[in-house]
Amino acid sequence: MARPPLPIGTYGNITTHKLPGGGYCAVTRFRDHDGVTRKVKRVGPTEAAAKNKLREDLRDRARQGPSSGLTGDSRFRVAAEEWIETVNHAVAQGLRSPNTAQLYRLNMNVHVLPAVGELRLREITVPRLDRVIQTLQLHKGSATAKIARTVISGSLGLAVRHGAISSNPVRDIGRIASAPRRAPRALTPNERVEWISRLRADEDAVRKDLPDLCEWMLGTGVRIGEALAVSWDEVDLAGGLVEIEHTIVRITGVGLLRKGTKSTAGERTLRLPAFAVAMLRRRKLASGGRGPVFPDSAGGWRDPSNTSRDLRNARGSEEFAWVTSHVFRKTAATELDRAGLTARQIADQLGHAKVSMTQDRYLGRRALDQAAADALDRAHKSATTDQERKVSGP
């Protein structure tokens, strides 16, 4: 019967022999991570020294995987850094958003590494991670806890793929409970008129070009970064069309970046309402029609974060305190819904790949709808008439 092979990462008996020129050589057979058994030898001044040197080398060799230096004794921060590099590589290939990489890096540095960065990979257990995530949820909120879970899971998943640990403990931690999502809220027609009127009466808002920008978002349903990324060469005034292909983001250490839209579904051509075309004609006459449609004071790309801050300052702290740039997007979606467009048509307008996203998060479903009441009334009258006919007979 053939001798069974050595388990991967182990070695057989160590033998030694004296070298002609002095010293000793320790030799054994080691089965590598590729399954091949190889002879390994090390030399030392004494027999014990040669054996010890060989054992140390074999220990390191057993820990070393075929494609990574990660082992069970590696610290979590090493795996996390390697994982974030894979995210950065995906960004460079255009597969991930720079904003996503920046968000992961920030969460990793601020929340994850202080909690588990110095642990060895083999020391990271389900109970330990569960405590970390639940503590984050308690003190920082569900959104922060979910991002931290993604960072930890990605890092440990990489460690699993490189053979440092056998399984990813994140899969077994407790669920992150979230507060019930608030129903989408959109501007009513009267609120919309009042909002724009308020902006036009505010000298600071006019100086910061907020009235036209808000009208543009209300008329297209685009995200604020997409609105600020539109250039005049993407506008077809004669056809009443605009191509939405870019967004503006700010990346730490880089500055403002005009990049492709959030997803493939985000690349879309929109037909413009008449009021938006009229507004663009007026702006083109005033600006000459070059560069960004909504530039900053120097004529360059405008920062979405600064613009959102300007909107917060303009809304005040009472009646419109709840209004954000995303409310204009939800308002456009809700108005399209009222007009009878399908969820798929509205999703295409907003640049959503999934119709469920549009239905669940963007349509102000709590708006009063007389059509629903009329339909139910008709059903009631029809049923009542049928019953009366049966009672009265032929």
pTM, full prediction: 0.65
| Rounded-to-integer distance, Cα 84 and Cα 133, Å | 19
pLDDT at position 242: 92
3-class DSSP assignment, residue 218? helix
CA distance 233 to 37: 64
Q: For the chain, list residues with pLDDT below 50.
A: 66-67, 365-369
pLDDT given for residue 216 in this prediction: 93
Q: What is the pLDDT of residue 347?
A: 86
Strand order in the sheet with 15-18: 15-18, 24-31, 37-44
- Residue 192 to residue 218: CA distance in whole angstroms: 9
pLDDT value for 127: 95
Look up tokens 């005033």; give the residue. Answer: 286
Q: How many residues does the chain have?
A: 394
Contact between 74 and 164 under an 8 Å Cβ cutoff? The reply is yes
For residue 302, which of 258, 365, 242, 240 has the smallest C-alpha distance? 258
Q: What is the pLDDT of residue 68?
A: 53
Q: What are the tens digits of pLDDT across the range 12-26?
A: 999 999 998 889 999
Identify residue 143 by its one-letter amino acid code.
A
Within a 13 Å sphere around the CA of 315, how many CA atoms are in the beta-carbon half? Answer: 19
Supply the pLDDT for residue 218.
92
